[in-house]
A and B are shown apart, each in its own frame.
Chain A
Amino acid sequence: MSLMTEITIFVLAAFVGFEVISKVPTTLHTPLMSQTNAIHGIVMLGGLIVLGYADDGLEYVIGTIAVAFGAINIVGGFMVTDRMLGMFSKKPKPKADPDGKGGGK
C-alpha cells in the first residue's frame, strides 16, 4: 500500500470518527472510552505480526508482552463496556414502586 493511500485512509477515518463519535451523548462517554480502549486492542495484531518474525530472546519477550497487553485491552475493554451498558439498559421499571405511585402530597 502506498503512503498516500494510507494517508487517504487515515484522513477519511478521522472524519468518520469525528462524525460518529460527536453524536455519542455525555451519558455514554465512560462506556465509549472503555469501548475505544477495546478497539485500541487492535494493536495486538501488530504484536502477533512482530512475534512472527522474532528470532531472539529479547524479541520473543517484547512480542509476547505486546500480545498480552493487546489482549488485556480487547478482552477487558469489551467485557467491562458490556457490564456498564447493562446498567443503562436494565431500567425498564420506571415508576413501578411496590406500592404504586405515591401521588401528590
Chain B
Amino acid sequence: MIPAVLEPGGDGATALYIVAFSLFIIGVKRGTHPTTAKQGNLVAAGGMAIAVVTTLLLDGVGNWGLIALGLGIGTAVGVIASVRVQMTEMPQMVALYNGVGGGAVALIAWSEIRNEIAEIEAGHISSVPLDILIPILFAAVVGSVSFWGSNIAFAKLQDLIPTKPLAVPGQQVINAVLLIGIVAGCVSIAVGNDDPSQLTFIGILVAAGLLGNLVVLPIGGADMPVVISLLNAFTGLSAAAAGFALDNVALIVAGTLVGSSGTILTMEMATAMNRSVANVLFAGFGGAPSGGPAGSTEERPHVSIGAQDAAIKLAYADSVVIVPGYGLAVAQAQHAIKEVADELEKRGVTVNYAIHPVAGRMPGHMNVLLAEADVPYEQLKEMEEINPEMSRTDVAVVVGANDVTNPAAKNDPDSPIAGMPIIEVNQAQQVIVIKRSLSPGFAGIDNDLFYEPNTSMLFADAKQAAADVAAQIQEL
C-alpha cells in the first residue's frame, strides 16, 4: 500500500494541481503553431501525469485493485483506439471521447450524491450544502446529456444510424416535458437537501440522457461540426462543475479550459454555416427547412468528361484550386490528389487547396487529412482567402465536396443552406467535379453547380479518378 502523503484540499496537493493546470495552459498555448504544437501536447500530458500522481497520493484514495482495473482497461482502449483510428474517423473518435468524458462526470456526480446521502444517514451532516449540491446536479445533467448525445453523434458519423435529420413526432413537446421534468427534479432535490432522493437523482440522469438522444437525433450530418464542438464545450463545463462539487481546483481550471475551447469552436462553426447554434439544434423541430430536399427528381442537363479531358484542362492551366470535401476523405483520395498536384506543379501550374471551415465532419478535419498526405501548410487556403482569387483561377477541381460549393446558398433564398458561406468555385473559368454520381450531399439537396455550363462532371471514385488524372497528365 502506498502511504497517503497529501491532505485533500491541503497546500501540498493544491500546489501540485496548480503546476498541473499551468502545464495544460502552456501546452495549449504551444498548440497555436504547427512547429511547437507537438511539444505542447507533451507538456500538457506532463501536467496530466502530475495531476494523476498527486491524486493517487491523496489521503483517502484507495481501492487500489479497482483503480488498477479502471486504469488498465482505459489505457488499453485508449492506446488501441489512438493507434488504429484512421484520420478520416477522427470526428467519430472525438465524439466518442466527448461521450466517455461526459459519462465519467455523470457517474462521478451519482457516486458523489450517494456519498452525501450516506453522510446524512450516518449523522455526520444534517443537509447537503447547496454549493456542493447544485454543482453535482449540474454535472449530472450536462454529463448525461453529453454522454447520450455523443453516442448518437458517434452512431451518425459511423453510419450506424441514418445521417439525415430524423424527426420523432411530437418531439418539441417531448423535449419540453423532459426539460421541465429535469428542472423540477433538480429543484426538488435542492429544496429537500436534508434528505435528497436518490431515485429522483437517477430519474434526472435518465431524463437528461433521453434529452441528449432526442436533441442530437434530428440533426443532419452536415451540422455535425457544430454538434461535436458543442458537446465538447458541454463536457468541459460538466468537468468544471464536478470540480466545484469535489473542491478540486485542477478540475475547475482544466474543465473551464475545455469549455472555452468547445465554445469558441462552436461559434466558429456556426458562423461558417451562417446559422445560430439554436437554429442548428432546433431547426429539425418544426421540420421546416430540413423537410423537402428541393425535391426535383427529373434529369437536368450536365456535361460529363473522362480522366483524359480533365488532365488536359488541368495541365494547360496556369492556376488550379483544389476544393476537397468529405467525399475525398471517405475515398481515402488525399494521397492520389497530392499526386495530381505534384504532376501539375512539375509543369509549372500553381496549385492551392481551398478549405471550407466545415469541409470535414469536425473543425479543421480536412487540414489534418491533407497534412497526412504531406500537402505543405502554405498551400492550405481558408475560404475568405481563396474566394477573391476564384475569378482568376483557371480550373477549380471539386473532389468529394458538395454542399459547400453549392451556389444555391447564395442565389436561392429558399434553399435549406441559404446564406451558408461557400467556396465560390462557380466563379472560376472552369470547374471539374469529381464525384460518383449526381446524388445530393449531406444536406440532402441538389447542387446547382453540377448543371452550370462551365462545369464538367468526372463520374468516378475520387481516388481512382485522381490516380487516372495524374497518370494522364504524366503522359501529356
Quick check: is B131 within 8 A (CB to CB) of the other chain?
yes
In whole angstroms, how far apart are the Cα atoms of A75 and B74 in the complex? 8
Interface residue count on the B side (C-beta < 8 Å): 117
Chain B residues with CB under 8 A of A18: 260, 263-264
Complex CA gap A13/B259 in Å reads 10
| Closest-CB distance, B259 to chain A (whole angstroms) | 7
With A75-B75, A79-B82 known to touch, is A66 a contact of B70 (CB < 8 Å)?
A: yes
- Whether B71 is near chain A, meaning CB under 8 Å from some CB there, is yes
Question: Shortest Cβ distance from B377 into chain A, in angstroms?
Answer: 7
A29 touches B265 (CB 8 A): yes
Provide the residues of chain A in CB contact with B97, threshold 8 Å.
34, 37, 40, 72-73, 76-77
Instruction: Give complex CA distance A43, B258 in Å.
Output: 12
Quote the shortest CB–CB distance from B379 to chain A (angstroms). 10
Contact B251 A42 (CB under 8 A): yes
- Tell which of A9, A46, A58, A62 has the most Cβ of chain B within 10 Å: A46
Residue of A nearest to B46 (CB): A78
B67 touching A48, Cβ below 8 Å: yes
Quick one: which of A66, A87, A91 contacts B368, CB cutoff 8 A? Answer: A87
Interface pair A50/B368, CB less than 8 Å apart:
no
Is the C-beta of B441 less than 8 angstroms from some C-beta in chain A? Answer: no
Set A41, A54, A65: member contacting B48, Cβ < 8 A: A41
Q: Is B175 on the interface with A (CB-CB < 8 A)? A: no
Are B232 and A68 in contact, with the CB atoms below 8 A?
Answer: no
Q: Is the CB of A74 within 8 A of B362?
A: no
Q: How many residues of A contact B (CB 8 A)?
A: 85
Residues of B contacting A: mostly: helix
| B256 in complex: contacting residue of A13, A31, A43, A71, CB < 8 Å | A13
Is B31 in contact with A31, judged by CB distance below 8 angstroms? yes
Min Cβ gap A13→B in Å is 4
B201 to chain A, nearest CB (A): 12
A38→B44 contact, CB < 8 A: yes
Whether B41 pairs with A45 at a CB distance below 8 angstroms is no
B240 at the interface (CB under 8 A from A): yes
How far apart are the CA atoms of A49 and B262 in the complex, in Å?
Answer: 26
| Minimum CB distance partner of A85 in chain B | B38
What are the residues of chain A within 8 A of B371 when measuring CB–CB?
Answer: 27, 84, 87-88, 91
Assess whether B105 is interfacial by the CB under 8 Å rule: yes
Bound Cα distance A79, B80 (Å)? 10
B239 within 8 A of A: yes
State whether A60 and B63 are in contact (beta carbons under 8 Å apart), knowing that A1-B247, A42-B239, A43-B242 are contacts in the complex. yes
Seen from chain B, the residues whose Cβ lies within 8 Å of a Cβ on chain A are 8-9, 21, 24-25, 27-29, 31-35, 37-38, 41-42, 44-45, 48, 51-52, 55-56, 58, 60-63, 66-67, 69-71, 73-75, 77-79, 81-83, 85, 87, 90, 93-94, 97-98, 100-101, 103-105, 107-108, 110-112, 114-115, 118, 131, 228-229, 232, 235-236, 239-240, 242-244, 246-265, 268, 342, 345-349, 355, 357, 360, 362-365, 367-368, 371-372, 374, 376-377, 380, 382
Interface residues of A (CB under 8 A from B): 1, 3, 6, 9-10, 13-14, 16-18, 20-55, 58-60, 62-91, 94, 97, 102-105
Instruction: Give 24 A-B contacts (CB < 8 Å), ordered by A residue.
Output: A6-B244, A21-B28, A26-B382, A27-B377, A31-B37, A35-B27, A37-B101, A40-B97, A40-B236, A43-B104, A44-B104, A45-B51, A45-B55, A47-B107, A52-B60, A60-B63, A65-B104, A68-B73, A70-B74, A72-B81, A72-B97, A86-B38, A88-B37, A89-B35
